[in-house]
Structure 1
Amino acid sequence: MLQELFTPSVQHALELVGIFVFAISGALLAVRKNFDVFGMAVLAEVTALGGGLLRDLIIGAVPPAAFTDLGYFVTPLVATGLVFFLHPHVERIQVAVNVFDAAGLGLFCVTGTTKAYEYGLGLTASATLGLATAVGGGVLRDVLANEVPSLLRWDRDLYAVPAMVGATMVVLCIRFEVLSPFTSGLAVVTAFVLRLLAMRFHWRAPRAWNRRSEMSEQEHKATA
């Protein structure tokens, strides 16, 4: 069994914080789409729990943690209630929400990777599921809201790449038998900082080689 990144109680608390922030982003998108309160709750739950649920089903960790820990299920509902009544105020602190979202991204890509490896997956598959844990909920959220998933859009700052870096660091540490709370924490911080830098400097992945830039914005608007 791999060493825990934190004590179980601390890790559980951090995961609930990450779930809460992811749920906030889902509920805010529902508000922008003019969904009712049920639609807000659905998007909040899917955003917060979708990645971990997908991971647990693939690795056979059933029933998934989302259904065995009441806190995991209730936290997105609390976020929904907060956004339902206070969404104008939440929108005004979007920068803070994005910072916590980046922290959740870093945490979940690492914990997702380690859990997948503990259930017997290889290094590459574990890193892939670590990435899915971190970004899967956001993809499901965007699909349900009839949006092109954010991590596929050229006009969005890097999101999946920081999670990929964090997950890759974990599997390299496993490969060379140096995984510890310190190296795991370093992977979390690396993914977190990369995401913050991407938001600060608007880092984006390159598009197709020799693509005519003057066509890009018009084509994107036409297909949005």
Structure 2
Amino acid sequence: MLDWLYITDLLGVAVFAISGTLLAFRKQMDGFGVVVLASVTAVGGGTTRDVILDVTVFWLHDPTYFYVILASAIACIILLRFRPHSQLRYLLIADAFGIAFFTVLGASKALELGVSAFTAIILGTMTAVFGGLIRDVMARDVPMVLKSDLYATTCIAGAIVFVLLYEWHQMIAMSAAMLTTLLLRLGAIRYHWSIQVFKEVQKP
């Protein structure tokens, strides 16, 4: 199980590094800006989670994470030289995969450390959204988590699925939670699903 979690963690880091690189491309940043944005997107959420849980931050003693970030950023840069268009669509899709991976990872680590199921849902959601939040703020974009289409809500749904199935079968819990988060987020991107709280004000 731990090997699968580690592989999933690296996959999440990779896709979030790609999403950071895509946003850096949209903002026409230089090489240093690409590395910074890719890195904070990839490790920002997990770092926040580990600080809250008062455990060693996951990347401090494992440089593999930064090798993956650099490799993903370079691969994305090469791809963008040949396919410079539709980068916003790629950004949204990469981000959707990233939050699907990190929702599960955050909730799983929280449960392993003995926190309640409710807290695990919160930490799973934070792990998924905080990296993208930092990325968007640094790039002076409106954070995706604050836009109208479903975003954090999809992470909450995925985390709930995970904690409900966790004691029964962890691999099935991981797969079901990732699929729930991913499909809900992709559906929100495609169909603009949202939860309306305020009535639309008619202009006079």
Structure 2, unpaired ranges of 5+: none
**SS in structure 2 opposite 1:126?**
helix
Is residue 180 of structure 2 the alignment partner of residue 190 of structure 1? yes
Indicate the RMSD between aligned Cα atoms, in angstroms.
Answer: 2.4
Specify the structure having the higher radius of gyration (Cα): 1
Q: How big is the shift at 1:43?
A: 0.5
Amino acid at match of 1:171: V
Q: How big is the shift at 1:136?
A: 0.9
Amino acid at match of 1:57: V
CA distance in 1, matches of 2:106, 2:119: 11
Q: How big is the shift at 1:55?
A: 0.7
Amino acid at match of 1:169: V
Is residue 203 of structure 2 the alignment partner of residue 211 of structure 1? no
Q: How big is the shift at 1:201?
A: 1.4
Residue correspondences, number: 203
CA distance in 2, matches of 1:171, 1:119: 14
Is residue 55 of structure 2 the alignment partner of residue 69 of structure 1? no
Residue 167 of structure 1: aligned partner = 159
Tell me the TM-score normalised to structure 1 length.
0.80
Q: How big is the shift at 1:165?
A: 0.2
Tell me the TM-score normalised to structure 2 length.
0.87
Structure 1, unpaired ranges of 5+: 216-224
Residue 111 of structure 2: aligned partner = 117
Closer, same or farther: CA 103–153 of 1 in aligned 2, 3 Å = closer
Please list the CA deviations of residues 152-180 of structure 1 after superposition, one character each: whole Å capped at 9, or x if unmatched.
022xx322111110111223335xx4353
**SS in structure 1 opposite 2:59?**
helix
Displaced runs of 4 or more, over 6 A? none
Contact map agreement 1:67 1:73 (CA 8 A) in 2: no
Closer, same or farther: CA 90–164 of 1 in aligned 2, 3 Å = farther
Closer, same or farther: CA 105–206 of 1 in aligned 2, 3 Å = same
Percent of aligned pairs sharing the same letter: 37
Closer, same or farther: CA 80–130 of 1 in aligned 2, 3 Å = same
Contact map agreement 1:53 1:65 (CA 8 A) in 2: yes
Closer, same or farther: CA 185–137 of 1 in aligned 2, 3 Å = same
CA distance in 1, matches of 2:136, 2:79: 22
CA distance in 2, matches of 1:200, 1:38: 33
CA distance in 2, matches of 1:113, 1:57: 15
